[in-house]
Amino acid sequence: MEHCKRRVAYYYDSNVGNYYYGQGHVMKPHRIRMTHHLLLNYGIYRFLEVYRPFPASFEEMTRFHSEDYMSFLKMQYNKQMLKFNVGEDCPVFDGLFEFCQLSSGGSLAAAVKLNKQKADIAINWMGGLHHAKKAEASGFCYSNDIGWIFTGYLELLKYHKRVLYVDIDVHHGDGVEEAFYTTDRVMTVSFHKYGDFFPGTGDLKDIGAGRGRYYSVNVPLKDGITDDSYQSIFVPVMTKVMERFQPSAVVLQCGADSLNGDRLGPFNLTLRGHGACVKFFRDQNVPLMLLGGGGYTPRNVARCWTYETALAVNVDISDELPYNDYFEYFGPNYRLHIDPSVNPNDNSADYLLSIQQGVMENLRKLPAVPSVQMQPIPIDAMQIDHTAGLDASDPDKRLPEAVADSLVQDAGELYDEEKEGGDKRNEQTPYQKRPAMDASEDNLKKLKIDNPPAQQDK
């Protein structure tokens, strides 16, 4: 049972749905716009602080990625496509660099928000692109927003001694694991399909190296895993990880391609099984960042991330979908939750137990919880106050979108809606009458009359 309201920051840029990987490509950035419209029409936005992130700059992105690689993405030199592994899976498309800026900018803003303790949970469904390497595109991912919010500015590691990264995408989070394979300050845990499946990494025996030995945890799974089977290994493994590593912040990559019915993923999870992972970390009461990732059936991606946004704010939503701009995508049943398929579950109880035992054995070999010596905190990323001087700004000029969207209304400042048939307000925000006041001199002094009535002509 929760005893206080969670502060949840949500990052979204409406332009993200305009980018297009090309005809026939399974990655559809439009799914993020569908998610946004669905949670708007559910009314979940009332419980969120909604922000439009500032795009990450070239200099910020080269803190993790190589400068040559970022220059290529920015200029789109066709002759260098093979050098940076850009081709069929990762095509060059119009606005590619700007797309990477939006994804990475949202994750950086979320990290800063958590560091400043201005939110308990920060959400960026545009992020979670976990396959990209420092100088290479991979798996539909061009920039690894997760990698550079850690290693670029060391943004999360400035304020948090230990950060846990958990990946529930159907594909192994190879790009993130590679970035932190030799450090003990970031533990990476990935639950994924293993075998003849992209990217082909993430064996149980891949445990890290050097100071990072045993700080990489991989849980290889087989086709058809169900909600119950998934939770039977997720809960004990993550409980032990939290006990042994004791992170002060968690980043959860919520790739929706582990759902039943995904075009690429062979798992059999429902929204409830997938969302149970979000609820697990929400209940841990540590700063939590939720990121997107894979997901190639757009209607189910929108369902999943809408449901998990509702879980983050601890609000129940109806199974009946509200009407929205993309309502026809959700036919024929127009319901939030999806049913599991009848495909067989290749993950036997014995197999899952053997994997769990192997993971637990590695976790037992972890040394004492790593500590960090006292040191000056580096300068924050996004340190410029873009809202400074708003009072003196030219009222005849429109503010930049990211600045205007950063001005958040206090909870309950505006009414949700007016009921039909009269000027009656929503029950949750009942109309409050101004208390009666005497026309005494003391009371009149308390009134702020900004616009006194004009004198009538005699």
Active-site residues, by number, are 131
- DSSP 3-state of 379: coil
From CA 264, how far away is CA 277, in angstroms rounded? 21
**Side-by-side strand order, sheet with 49-51:** 49-51, 8-11, 121-124, 288-291, 249-253, 163-167, 186-193, 216-221
Tell me the two tokens of residue 309.
Answer: 């946004």
From CA 211, how far away is CA 120, in angstroms rounded? 30
From CA 423, how far away is CA 431, in angstroms rounded? 10
From CA 153, how far away is CA 144, in angstroms rounded? 14
Q: Is 12 annotated as a binding residue?
A: no
Tell me the two tokens of residue 81.
Answer: 């496509």
Q: How many CB atoms lie within 10 A of CB 382?
A: 19
Separation in Å, CA 104 to CA 375, 389, 390? 27, 27, 26
From CA 115, how far away is CA 121, in angstroms rounded? 11
Q: How many CA atoms lie within 13 A of 211 on its CB side?
A: 9
Selection from 248, 286, 250 nearest residue 371 by Cα: 248
- DSSP 3-state of 189: strand
Are β-strands 216-221 and 249-253 bridged in parallel, bridged antiparallel, or unpaired?
unpaired
Is 147 within 8 Å of 183 (Cβ atoms)? no
- DSSP 3-state of 58: helix
Q: Is 171 annotated as a binding residue?
A: yes
From CA 228, how far away is CA 132, in angstroms rounded? 31
Tell me the two tokens of residue 152.
Answer: 């670029």
Q: Is 169 annotated as a binding residue?
A: yes
CA 47 remoteness from chain centre: 16
Tell me the two tokens of residue 63.
Answer: 């803190």
Tell me the two tokens of residue 5.
Answer: 């309201």
Tell me the two tokens of residue 137.
Answer: 């595109």
Please report, in range form, the residues annotated as the binding site for a divalent metal cation: 169, 171, 257
Residue ranges for the binding site? 89, 139, 169, 171, 257, 296
The binding site for substrate consists of 89, 139, 296
